[in-house]
Amino acid sequence: MNPLISVIIPVYKVEKYLDACMTSVVEQTYRNLEIILVDDGSPDSCPEKCDDWASRDPRIRVVHKTNGGLSTARNAGLDIATGDYIAFVDSDDWIDKNMISRLYQWMIEHDSADVTVCGVVKEYENGAMENIDASYPERMFTREEALNSFLYHRDRMTDSVWNKLFSARFFRGERPLRFPDGINSEDYYLLSHVYDMMTGLYYNPEAFYHYRIRGNSISTKSRIDEHTYDKVKIADLCTKYLAARGYSDRHALGFFRMQGWYDVLYDILGKQPSAKEVSSARRELAKSAWIVYSDGTLSLMHRAKVWTFSHIPRVYHALTSRNHKRQLEHMQETQQREN
């Protein structure tokens, strides 16, 4: 029999999407699954839906807990997972029926890989779809290559955990990995530790994971709150951890810190901020960007973009946001014509 694979699915306020997600998981061609649904104190009909799914499929286990956020839900699943491999699926997304099978097959075919990764399709509410991995080549990553790409936000190494299959060894033993509580962008934290500990990673751009873009999702909230600066906090945690582990490329570490402020400022500009909030984040970005300007591994164009955003952020944000909107509209029009 194939080894047991645990699929951990955190559930909170997704009654509209949960059935589609669960259907895609239970219909996987890879059958030896332990499907762990973690109800994170959801106030809608999700708790009942979880129990209903468990009554229909003996592979499903349900954890009901008080609300604590995504990290605590995933950690609760990790605490009871018994599989030889671990996968994560978000409950408002869905996966192709062959995703788990292909991720496992790649793991077997590549002896040095203890992480395998597939491509992702973004699914927008307006019907547009975006294959965000289409231009990336299939390849193996060593520990050093994955860490470098992670710190420079290259090669899809800063993606989430949900398009991956992990050896369960990362989450067992004397110091098992867990997600940090109370902070968003928690996947970065976990991945920085996995990449540091792993033997190798196999990446294939075949797109099996469907990531639903919702207007009220964590990543698209329209107001500034206590989580707005989480990417800066996570960047600090990741770089301090890697530096303590002996990672010595100061340009790569500096780029990751800079990118944290870059992302925060970009998010703030999309949330009707005050002038003080913009000015403060812009100053922090400008300070963190100095090391980037002396980084010879970056193109002059890339360094110029960082300089431009750190000096005239509103103009830069307006131009790039407009371009992205046009790209989405073009994709939607193209897909409508094809259909």
User: Which CATH superfamily, name and number, covers 5-218?
Assistant: Spore Coat Polysaccharide Biosynthesis Protein SpsA; Chain A (3.90.550.10)
Residues 6+ apart with CB under 8 A from 18: 11, 46, 49, 50, 91, 92
The whole-number average pLDDT for the span 209-216 is 84
Tens of pLDDT, residues 150-208: 999 999 999 999 999 999 999 999 999 999 998 999 999 999 999 999 999 999 999 99
Residue 321, pLDDT score: 82
Q: Is the pLDDT of residue 52 over 70?
A: yes
Residue 218, pLDDT score: 45
Tens of pLDDT, residues 60-111: 999 999 999 999 999 999 999 999 999 999 999 999 999 999 999 999 999 9
Closest C-alpha among 100, 123, 121, 202 to residue 157: 202
Q: Is the pLDDT of residue 312 over 90?
A: yes
What does the alpha-carbon distance between residue 74 and residue 156 come to, in Å, rounded to a whole number?
A: 22
Strand residues in the chain grouped as ranges (E): 5-11, 33-40, 60-65, 85-88, 94-95, 115-124, 129-131, 139-142, 164-167, 200-213
Residue 128, pLDDT score: 84
Among the residue ranges 179-193, 216-230, 235-249, the one predicted with the least confidence is 216-230
Residue 197, pLDDT score: 97
Residue 272, pLDDT score: 86
Do residues 17 and 212 touch, judged by C-beta distance below 8 A?
Answer: yes
Q: How do 5-11 and 33-40 pair as beta strands? A: parallel
Which two structure tokens, joined as six digits, stand for 143?
Answer: 């520990």
Residue 324, pLDDT score: 64
DSSP run (H or E) holding 298: none
What are the sequence ranges of the domains in the chain? 5-218, 248-338
Residue 332, pLDDT score: 59
Residue 326, pLDDT score: 67
For the chain, what is the mean pLDDT?
Answer: 93
Tens of pLDDT, residues 198-211: 999 999 999 999 99
The model carries a pTM of 0.91
Tens of pLDDT, residues 284-303: 999 999 999 999 999 999 99
Residue 328, pLDDT score: 61
DSSP run (H or E) holding 271: none
Q: How do 164-167 and 94-95 pair as beta strands? A: unpaired
Residues 6+ apart with CB under 8 A from 309: 262, 265, 266, 285, 316, 317
Q: Is the pLDDT of residue 331 over 80?
A: no
Tens of pLDDT, residues 248-280: 999 999 999 999 999 999 999 998 899 999 999
> Judging by beta carbons within 10 Å of its beta carbon (0-12, 13-18, 19+), is residue 27 exposed, middle or buried?
exposed
